[in-house]
Amino acid sequence: MKKVKFKAYDNFEDQTYEVIEISFEKNKVFTLFRGGLRNVYDFDDVVILPHTGLLDNNRKEIYERDRLEKGDIGYIVSYDDFNAQFVGVNQENESERKPLRELIDTGFVVKNT
């Protein structure tokens, strides 16, 4: 069985942290940050970002909202509800969307996190 992974984006700090626990009873997200310290957030204070289940060509995990680049072309990873798949949304032309697997296969790699 595959492990489900998430990151949490802190809107105030403009930072992304590894999620180690989610408590639906308490509406809390527990993260690791700054050298392994633990922090607790209310659900309203962070955006939960799922792992796509894929790695780029540098073996880096890809999460929703990650930026993929190849040269000067950039895509933001998003989930396409209609097609039930992760896609890359072109940063300069948001109507251009490509399946995430296609971007990986053509050499795009994660540039943030």
What are the residue boundaries of the structural domains of the chain, listed by start?
A: 6-48, 56-110
- Does the domain spanning 6-48 belong to CATH 2.30.30? yes
Average pLDDT, the chain: 93
| Reported confidence tier of residue 33, pLDDT bands at 50, 70, 90 | confident
Residue 113 predicted with pLDDT over 60: no
What average pLDDT does this structure show over 29-52? 92
Q: What is the pLDDT of residue 106?
A: 96
> Chain-centre distance of CA 69, in angstroms?
14
Beta-strand relationship, 109-110 and 67-70: antiparallel
Comparing 69 with 12, the larger pLDDT belongs to 69
The model's pLDDT over 67-110, given as tens digits with 9 standing for 90+, comes to 999 999 999 999 999 999 999 999 999 999 999 999 999 999 99
The predicted model scores a pTM of: 0.87
Q: What is the pLDDT of residue 97?
A: 96
Q: Which amino acid is at 9?
A: Y
Q: Are 51 and 61 in contact (CB under 8 A)?
A: yes
Q: Are 31 and 22 in contact (CB under 8 A)?
A: no
**Which tokens go with 49?**
């970002």
Q: DSSP label at 105?
A: H
Q: Other C-beta atoms within 10 Å of 56: how many?
A: 18
Comparing 112 with 31, the larger pLDDT belongs to 31
